[in-house]
Amino acid sequence: EGLYGDPNNDNLVLLQWHWLTGNSCLHADYDQYPFPPGWSPDNMGQCPLPYSDTGIEVPPEQFWNCAEVQIIKAGPTTPAPTKSPSSTEPPTIETDAPTKSPVDPANGCCSQNYQSCDATWCGDNESACLSCGSAGDKTWLYNGGVGAGTCIARYGDCTNDVNGCCDIGTGPGTLECVGNEYYRQCMVSLNPAPTTSPPTPSPSSSPVDAPTAPSPQTSSPTKSPSASSNSALFSTGN
């Protein structure tokens, strides 16, 4: 019917759709359409012109609808967007789980909606709870569940409170408010695994050779002087 909006605003425009029904009168050229046997509307009169502005005073019935669309250039087709999960919590499937003793909320409990003790069938301790199902599907509430008005449970609407998702449990997942400016939900987001740096090897020092002591040096013995054989003997006698 018409386009409204500013093409410079991300090419977003408002499309108005107008539908004229044919269940109460005949529109122009209806008599030219090859209706199947038994479906011909010949028993109805012509629709009065001009059509009503509201579609309720006189036939035919009329419907209007508005949708925001984006106009983009032609190009290769892109995959369809992933459908956002429904805001309605998934139905609980009743199974013949073994009966366990009641869990004292003050001592902690297992939760699937991250708010209340709604997964006690998974066990009455943290280890059994977190290993029940896929990673992040359950969380362990150390102090038990909380009331619905305390925080927003899993799959809950957080459009107007992006920091309101329940964050009272422990485990590999946390609730995160995801979506867009029009609608957001509290969805499970897996915590990143901690990364550790490889250990740095200790520096090794090369062995140092002990210094070599110098060898002691000895002098050759000095030879004593010998008396000459030609020495004269002197006498002191008369």
Q: Do residues 74 and 114 touch, judged by C-beta distance below 8 A?
A: no
Quote the distance between the C-alpha of residue 169 and its chain's center: 17
Instruction: Give 79-131 pLDDT, tens digit per residue.
Output: 666 666 655 566 666 655 444 444 444 579 999 999 999 988 898 899 999 99
Q: Assess contact for 15 and 69: CB atoms under 8 A.
A: yes
The pair of structure tokens assigned to 124 is: 């009455």
Is residue 154 a contact partner of residue 113, using CB atoms and an 8 Å limit?
yes
User: Where do runs of H (alpha helix) occur along 49-133?
Assistant: 126-130
Structural domain boundaries in the chain:
12-70, 109-190
Between the alpha carbon of residue 46 and those of residues 30, 53, 62, 63, the distances in Å are 9, 18, 15, 19
Q: Over its length of 238 residues, how does the chain's per-residue pLDDT go in tens digits? A: 455 666 566 677 788 888 888 877 888 888 888 888 877 777 788 888 888 887 766 788 888 888 888 777 776 666 666 666 655 566 666 655 444 444 444 579 999 999 999 988 898 899 999 999 889 999 999 898 888 789 999 999 999 999 999 998 999 999 999 999 899 999 999 987 666 666 666 665 555 565 665 666 655 555 555 554 444 444 445 4
Tell me the pairing of strands 109-111 and 139-141.
Answer: antiparallel
Cα–Cα distance, 139 to 147 (Å, whole number): 16
- One-letter amino acid at 90 equals P
